[in-house]
Amino acid sequence: MTDALATLYRLLYDGVLSRLPEPAAVAFGQTALRLLPFDRLGAFRLDDPRLAITLGGVRLPNPVILAAMYYDVRILGRAMGLGFGAVTAKSITTSPRPGHPAPNLVRVRTPAGPGLVNCNGFANPGVERFRAAVAALPHRVPLIVSVAGESVEDYVGLARALGPHGDLVEFNISSPNTKLVYAWSERPAELRALMQAARGATSRPLIVKVSPDFADVNERVIIPAALDAGVSVVNYGNTRRVAEPRLSQGAGGLSGPEIFEATLNNVRRTRAAFGDRLQIIGTGGVDAPDKAVRLLDAGATAVSYFTGFITRGPILARRILEALLRRA
């Protein structure tokens, strides 16, 4: 059944979705997610107590997380019934942002498989509208709220406003598409102050999401500073910055299987360097069950993905969970 659904989705993706212009494919996918009650079909889920983990002190029914991309609570609610152990909302900023003009998302065919390059630029409704919407969202599985800003005050205010509506709070300091966030890794000393201030702003467990483009500074400065501030979960990581002339900004963040090997190495190195003091979410390039297994074997506490949700469909989470049970 699972394999049949995976094959069906691959036919839909290769035959239809990957041939539509990107904006039309995005609109089609998001409309389908909003309208069709896939989450009521048990086929996408797999409940088994052997899969449960604890992340930042919060119990997740399994270690497979939907990475940050959606802020529409209808989609977040739907995703909570599609097998994930937690769902991450898109990064929210203090004020609403339209994001970068189109084209802001293109597909890429990489040697490792289909990927995306985006320069979304944090299109989001801003904290007040998002807070009103998310307050009504039931948490069938834990919700990770993600925040992004350009000052310590931004992060503190966002954590204070959204903390009560999330089970964990993720600090995005790594999206490569705006100076807004990407520049934090170039100012690691200020980042230390940021994490300390933010720690006091919410009682929720904190996650810091780092960039694969700054491995040295992450492991030398940012992760130790996070641990000192009481942030013991690292999401490693975000997209990799690449030149992409088709995008309005001439560059964007690469996601999908081309970045998987780097994710694996980053997780393995970080686990070896920090041992049990840290929990690690491995993100970047997971689009098949064996990749999730390899990340967990390399020391990840949990894995998350977004591009695989698009290219391999909503059945991927269940296929990963089946592989984890076979290995249990």
Which of 62, 93, 94, 118 binds ligand FMN (CB under 6 A)? It is 118
Nearest C-alpha neighbor of 10 from the set 318, 254, 315, 320? 315
Element spanning 291, H or E: helix 289-297
Rounded Cα distance, 222 and 212, in Å: 13
With H, G, I as helix, E, B as strand and everything else as coil, classify residue 61. Answer: coil
User: In the window 66-105, what residues touch ligand FMN (CB under 6 A)?
Assistant: 67-69, 90-91, 105
User: Would residue 175 show up in a list of annotated catalytic residues for this protein?
Assistant: yes
Q: How far is the CB of 69 from ligand FMN (least distance, A)?
A: 4
Q: How far is CA 8 from its chain centroid? A: 25
Which pair of tokens denotes residue 233?
A: 């979960």
Q: Which of 146, 175, 211, 304 is catalytic?
A: 175
Nearest C-alpha neighbor of 37 from the set 82, 3, 4, 2? 82
Taking the least distance from each CB to ligand FMN, the nearer of 76 and 286 is: 286
Q: How far apart are the first and last CA of the chain?
A: 21
Taking the least distance from each CB to ligand FMN, the nearer of 232 and 238 is: 238
Is residue 44 involved in binding ligand FMN (CB under 6 A)?
Answer: no
User: In the window 6-35, what residues touch ligand FMN (CB under 6 A)?
Assistant: none
Rounded Cα distance, 148 and 159, in Å: 10
**Residue 135: Cβ within 10 Å count:** 11
Rounded Cα distance, 21 and 16, in Å: 10
How do beta strands 58-60 and 64-66 pair? Answer: unpaired
- Residue 195 Cα distances to 47, 152, 207, 209, 228, angstroms: 35, 8, 10, 12, 9
Cβ–Cβ under 8 Å, residues 249 and 231:
no
Stretch that binds ligand FMN, among 5-13, 187-195, 218-226, 282-290 (CB under 6 A): 282-290
Contact pattern from residue 161 through residue 180 relative to ligand FMN, giving x for each residue in contact according to CB under 6 A and a dash for the rest:
-----------x--x-----
Is residue 308 involved in binding ligand FMN (CB under 6 A)?
Answer: yes
Taking the least distance from each CB to ligand FMN, the nearer of 47 and 79 is: 79
Which of 306, 311, 313, 318 binds ligand FMN (CB under 6 A)? It is 306
Taking the least distance from each CB to ligand FMN, the nearer of 24 and 41 is: 24
Which of 125, 149, 256, 282 binds ligand FMN (CB under 6 A)? It is 256
- How many residues in the shown chain lie near ligand FMN by CB under 6 A? 26
Is residue 270 involved in binding ligand FMN (CB under 6 A)?
Answer: no
Taking the least distance from each CB to ligand FMN, the nearer of 276 and 319 is: 319
**Residue 52: Cβ within 10 Å count:** 13
Rg of the chain over Cα atoms, rounded to whole angstroms, equals 18
Which of 209, 268, 291, 318 binds ligand FMN (CB under 6 A)? It is 209
Residues annotated as catalytic (active site), given as ranges: 175
Binding site for ligand FMN (CB under 6 A): 67-69, 90-91, 105, 116, 118, 120, 146, 172, 175, 209, 238-239, 255-256, 259, 283-286, 305-308
